[in-house]
């Protein structure tokens, strides 16, 4: 059922000691040393095993691990243990001897081994072989959570409830190979605690630091323990869209929540729109895991509306996964090598350097994956200096690997990049992509062949929402491919012509505006980029025509506001004067408006004509006086577009005209409520308006009394209108604070090059 022979000696010992704690109910003192005197674990006291016989005294646990598949234990395997047992008995340390092994144990061999141990002085002998251990794994969800590697060593359909398996299969089956390599880290323990307490966790860290691995472990545990439906999504709107009010066990996993390799402001604005609903989802029992690169999250924080979702600012749910102990690093490296693609002779050659690699300050989990794959190490000379360079200069070496690929493999990577890392399978190309492939010297058929050859090393085939697609094995490969574009204007030109405009707008900047990992379009290609942007009139994200046009405009405005230099914007406005009129009268919800972002940016660059500034100020002023949107009071950038006299006039008008009329504003909002919309979500914007007004007029006690009264009335209305909360039983993964310390001198890498017989 489980390929336990792939665990390695250290992980098997940890599994056995965890079983002793979780299944046998004993707190075990572990002895992890090559000179363990014949005991890998020990405890003292009384114990009543399943047979009902009470055993008491000094217990010794010995683990016998075999790296051979389908191996059966032989009497000779414990011959060396007999003298150790005799000494332990003589020292009063062994009354009951427990042998745990991943090998098969026949009744005859058990009798022979029992006879030898009794002769050595053991009063009682228990043996737990592969079948018994596999049964414990199959029957104990908590055990699987504490040793999540077993998810990758067996058939998921045998572990999971049939319904949960069917729902999680598309997400988790593709990760099974990676699950077999996971290591319980302190970051994982913190993430479990955050999910248990808050239902939400955001994992941040540098590229390739292990965020996705932890998220996959949490998803697997949720599907296993809670029978959750697991949905891996890439857009905040889809989280709300897929929420089923009648299914409180849903588990949402949003990888790269604010952008895959670079900051994508539309995603953050999407989260801001969805935070109120997400708060309700969490209250109803949904669990959500998000991941983000650290530098992307740091930029996103400036735009996240944390007031609508306070959890986002709490340290216990925002977890940096970067810090790894030396033992965690060693186990990660061991697992990748043991289950990787390197031949045994290579493992023997690199074995003396593995302690050095895992201790290197630049080691991350991605380092282990590359060391374990021949495509990355084919030119690596095995000495300490060259290996140190491999770990230290991981970005540069990955770039060299990509540059050394054949034409068709490069084109295949380019095709995935042009599709923003999601190339649907079976692959069907648009005409402009076919032309781009021809310019790259390849064809669709050659690319498909190359994708198959690269599968598992540089690319992988995944499933989202039952749709198969090709993606990069890791986002760092996307980073490296983007870097190759910077070296060649011709290659960049092909990329610009072969990508959809919508994808381009989240991958490039026109001029260098300081966005990390973005492809910078040089001045020589500005004209080509302007032509693409001016032809962009429909977004693929919307099926309805008017929404498609609306979405295209929003994407264009955000691109111009966030990813374009003054020089590019000057050229663009010269060719599209109409855009100034379009953005001068923004729609409501100013805090989410891309028109506002673009107006602010143009004003900062002195590119906003006075007539357009005045029209914008008038529009924003009218929204505020009606009580529809007072964003101008609270946002320094919008405030900066007003002159001092214009802003002072607005404040005075609000004092005289709006605040005395707040009760009518509140009643109008209440009367427009649709019963299908949760009251607290519906009233959030109005509460934000009242909060902004209170902050602005905090020195006027009379006005503050009016505002506070209206806030109380809104909260009373919410309480009266809110349907009763469903009664939910608490769902927790449980503590995962198992400390795995190394107490001896035996190297984790001791058996890394031992071969397994098929």
Beta bridge partners of 291: 203
Per-residue confidence at 558, pLDDT binned at 50, 70, 90?
very high
Q: Tell me, what's the pLDDT at 601?
A: 95
Q: Which residues contact 575 (CB under 8 A, 6 or more apart)?
A: 530, 534
Task: Specify whether 160 is located in the same domain as 124.
Answer: no
Q: Which of 336, 366, 392 delimits the end of a domain?
A: 392
Q: Tell me, what's the pLDDT at 739?
A: 46
Angle (deg, nearest 10), helices 475-486 and 394-403: 70
Q: Which of 139, 156, 181 delimits the end of a domain?
A: 139
Pairing of strands 96-101, 459-464: unpaired
pLDDT (mean) for 697-705: 90
- The C-alpha atoms of residue 331 and residue 747 are separated, in whole angstroms, by 10
Q: Which of 338, 370, 392 delimits the end of a domain?
A: 392
Q: Is the pLDDT of residue 346 over 70?
A: yes
Q: Is residue 87 part of a domain?
A: yes
What CATH number corresponds to the domain at position 409?
Answer: 1.10.10
Is it true that the peptide bond before 442 is cis, omega within 30 degrees of 0? no
The tokens for 477 are 């490969």
Task: Specify whether 441 is located in the same domain as 474.
Answer: yes
User: Range of 421's domain?
Assistant: 393-492
Q: Is 184:736 a contact under the CB 8 Å cutoff?
A: yes
Q: What is the DSSP letter of 284?
A: T
Q: Is residue 178 part of a domain?
A: yes
Q: Tell me, what's the pLDDT at 29?
A: 59
Q: Tell me, what's the pLDDT at 758?
A: 38
Answer with the residue of higher pLDDT: 2 or 169.
2
Q: What is the largest CA-CA distance in the chain?
A: 101
Task: Specify whether 221 is located in the same domain as 344.
Answer: no
R_g over Cα of the chain: 31
Task: Specify whether 129 is located in the same domain as 166.
Answer: no
Identify which of 270, 283, 213 has the alpha carbon closest to the alpha carbon of residue 240.
Answer: 270
DSSP states of 159-192? HS-HHHHHHHHHHHGGGHHHHTT----HHHHHHH
Task: Specify whether 297 is located in the same domain as 339.
Answer: no
Q: Is the pLDDT of residue 604 over 60?
A: yes
Beta bridge partners of 472: 459
Buried b (16+ CB within 10 A) or exposed e, 707-743: beebbeebeebbeeeeeeeeeeeebebeebeeebebe
Q: Is the pLDDT of residue 508 over 50?
A: yes
Q: Is 366:401 a contact under the CB 8 Å cutoff?
A: no
Q: Is residue 301 part of a domain?
A: yes
pLDDT (mean) for 545-549: 64
Q: Is residue 53 part of a domain?
A: yes
Identify which of 149, 137, 192, 184 has the alpha carbon closest to the alpha carbon of residue 19.
Answer: 137
Task: Specify whether 293 is located in the same domain as 227.
Answer: yes
- What are the pLDDT digits (tens) for 66-94? 888 888 988 888 888 888 889 888 888 88
Number of domain units in the chain: 5
What CATH number corresponds to the domain at position 109?
Answer: 3.40.1350
Identify which of 183, 335, 150, 328 has the alpha carbon closest to the alpha carbon of residue 752.
Answer: 335
Q: What percent of the chain has pLDDT over 70?
A: 87
> What pTM was estimated for this model as a whole?
0.76
Beta bridge partners of 128: 100
Task: Specify whether 243 is located in the same domain as 369.
Answer: no
Identify which of 254, 494, 458, 468 has the alpha carbon closest to the alpha carbon of residue 366.
Answer: 458
pLDDT (mean) for 179-207: 85
Q: Is 751:67 a contact under the CB 8 Å cutoff?
A: yes
Q: Is residue 520 part of a domain?
A: no
pLDDT (mean) for 143-163: 71
- What are the pLDDT digits (tens) for 111-135? 888 888 888 888 888 888 999 898 8
- What are the pLDDT digits (tens) for 269-288? 888 878 878 888 888 888 99
DSSP states of 34-51? TT-TT-SEEEEEEE--TT
Q: Is the pLDDT of residue 149 over 80?
A: no
Per-residue confidence at 249, pLDDT binned at 50, 70, 90?
confident
Q: Is residue 446 part of a domain?
A: yes
Answer with the residue of higher pLDDT: 263 or 44.
263
State how far the alpha carbon of 173 is from the alpha carbons of 146, 160, 169, 176, 322, in Å: 20, 12, 5, 5, 26
Task: Specify whether 178 is located in the same domain as 280.
Answer: yes
Task: Specify whether 111 is located in the same domain as 217.
Answer: no
- What are the pLDDT digits (tens) for 406-462? 899 999 999 998 888 888 988 888 888 888 888 888 999 999 999 998 888 888 887
- The C-alpha atoms of residue 478 and residue 293 are separated, in whole angstroms, by 14
Q: Is residue 579 part of a domain?
A: no
Task: Specify whether 238 is located in the same domain as 154.
Answer: yes
Task: Specify whether 303 is located in the same domain as 342.
Answer: no
- The C-alpha atoms of residue 511 and residue 493 are separated, in whole angstroms, by 15
Q: Is the pLDDT of residue 386 over 90?
A: yes
DSSP states of 498-547? HS-HHHHTTTEEES----TTPEEEPGGGHHHHHHHHHT----TT-SSHHH
Answer with the residue of higher pLDDT: 564 or 460.
564
Q: Is 290:203 a contact under the CB 8 Å cutoff?
A: yes
Q: Is residue 470 part of a domain?
A: yes
Give the range with max mean pLDDT: 145-159, 230-244, 422-436, 601-615.
Answer: 601-615
Per-residue confidence at 727, pLDDT binned at 50, 70, 90?
low
Task: Specify whether 240 is located in the same domain as 229.
Answer: yes
């Amino acid at each position: 059922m489980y390929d336990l022979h792939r665990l390695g000696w250290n992980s098997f010992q940890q599994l056995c000691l965890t079983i002793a704690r979780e299944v046998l109910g004993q707190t075990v003192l572990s002895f992890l040393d090559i000179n363990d005197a014949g005991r890998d674990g020990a405890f003292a006291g009384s114990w009543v095993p399943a047979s009902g016989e009470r055993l008491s005294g000094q217990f010794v646990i010995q683990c016998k691990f075999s790296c051979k598949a389908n191996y059966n234990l032989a009497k000779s395997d414990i011959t060396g243990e007999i003298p150790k047992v005799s000494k332990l008995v003589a020292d009063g340390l062994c009354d009951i001897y427990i042998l745990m092994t991943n090998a098969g144990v026949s009744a005859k061999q058990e009798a022979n081994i029992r006879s030898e141990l009794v002769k050595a002085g053991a009063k009682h002998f228990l043996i737990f072989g592969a079948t018994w251990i596999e049964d414990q794994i199959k029957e104990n969800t908590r055990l699987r959570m504490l040793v999540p590697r077993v998810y990758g060593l067996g058939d998921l359909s045998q572990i999971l409830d049939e319904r949960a398996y069917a729902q999680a299969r598309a997400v988790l089956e593709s990760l099974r190979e990676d699950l077999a390599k996971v290591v319980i880290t302190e970051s994982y323990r913190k993430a479990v605690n955050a999910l248990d307490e808050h239902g939400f966790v955001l994992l941040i860290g540098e590229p390739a630091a292990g965020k996705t691995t932890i998220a996959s472990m949490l998803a697997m545990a949720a599907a296993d323990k809670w029978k959750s439906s697991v949905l891996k999504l890439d857009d905040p709107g889809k989280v709300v869209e897929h929420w089923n009010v009648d299914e409180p066990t849903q588990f949402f996993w949003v990888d790269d929540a604010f952008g895959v390799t670079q900051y994508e402001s539309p995603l953050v604005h999407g989260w801001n729109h969805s935070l109120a609903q997400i708060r309700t989802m969490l209250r109803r029992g949904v669990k959500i895991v998000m991941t983000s690169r650290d530098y992307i999250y740091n930029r996103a924080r400036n735009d996240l509306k944390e007031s609508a979702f306070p959890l986002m600012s709490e340290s216990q749910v925002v977890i940096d996964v970067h810090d790894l102990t030396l033992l965690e690093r060693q186990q990660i490296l061991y697992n990748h090598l043991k289950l990787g693609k390197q031949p045994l002779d290579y493992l023997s050659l690199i074995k003396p350097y593995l302690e050095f690699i895992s201790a290197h300050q630049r080691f991350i989990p991605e380092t282990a994956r590359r060391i374990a794959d021949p495509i990355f190490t084919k030119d690596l000379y095995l000495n300490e200096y060259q290996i140190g360079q491999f770990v230290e200069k991981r970005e540069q070496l990955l770039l060299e690997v990509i540059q050394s690929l054949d034409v068709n493999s490069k084109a295949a990577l380019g095709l995935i990049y042009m599709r923003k890392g999601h190339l649907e399978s079976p692959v069907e190309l648009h005409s402009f992509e076919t032309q781009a492939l021809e310019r790259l010297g390849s064809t669709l058929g050659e690319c498909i062949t190359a994708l198959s050859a690269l599968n598992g090393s540089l690319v992988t085939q995944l499933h989202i929402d039952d749709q198969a697609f090709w993606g990069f094995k890791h986002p760092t490969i996307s980073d490296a491919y983007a870097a190759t574009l910077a070296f060649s204007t011709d290659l960049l030109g092909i990329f610009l012509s072969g990508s959809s405009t919508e994808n381009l707008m989240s991958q490039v900047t026109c001029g260098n505006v300081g966005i990390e990992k973005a492809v910078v379009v040089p001045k020589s290609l500005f004209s080509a980029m302007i032509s693409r942007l001016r032809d962009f009139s429909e977004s693929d994200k919307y099926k309805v025509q008017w929404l498609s046009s609306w979405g295209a405009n929003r994407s264009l405005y955000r691109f111009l506001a966030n990813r374009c230099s003054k020089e590019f914007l000057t050229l663009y406005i010269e060719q599209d004067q109409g855009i100034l009129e379009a953005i001068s009268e923004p729609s409501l919800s100013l805090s989410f408006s891309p028109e506002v972002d673009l107006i602010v940016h143009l004003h900062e660059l002195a590119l906003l004509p006075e007539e357009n500034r005045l029209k914008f100020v008038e529009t924003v002023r009218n929204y505020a006086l009606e009580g529809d949107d007072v964003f101008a009071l609270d946002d320094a950038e919008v405030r900066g577009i007003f002159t001092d006299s214009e802003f002072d006039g607005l404040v005075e008008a609000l004092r005289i005209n709006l605040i005395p009329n707040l009760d009518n504003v509140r009643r109008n909002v209440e009367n427009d409520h649709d019963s299908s919309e949760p009251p607290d979500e519906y009233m959030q914007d109005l509460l934000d308006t009242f909060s902004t007004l209170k902050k602005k007029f905090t020195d006027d006690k009379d006005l503050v009394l009016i505002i506070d009264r209206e806030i109380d009335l809104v909260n009373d209305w919410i309480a009266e209108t809110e349907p009763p909360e469903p009664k939910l039983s608490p769902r927790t993964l449980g503590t995962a604070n198992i400390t795995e310390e190394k107490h001896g001198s035996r190297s984790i890498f001791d058996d890394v090059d031992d071969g397994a017989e098929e």
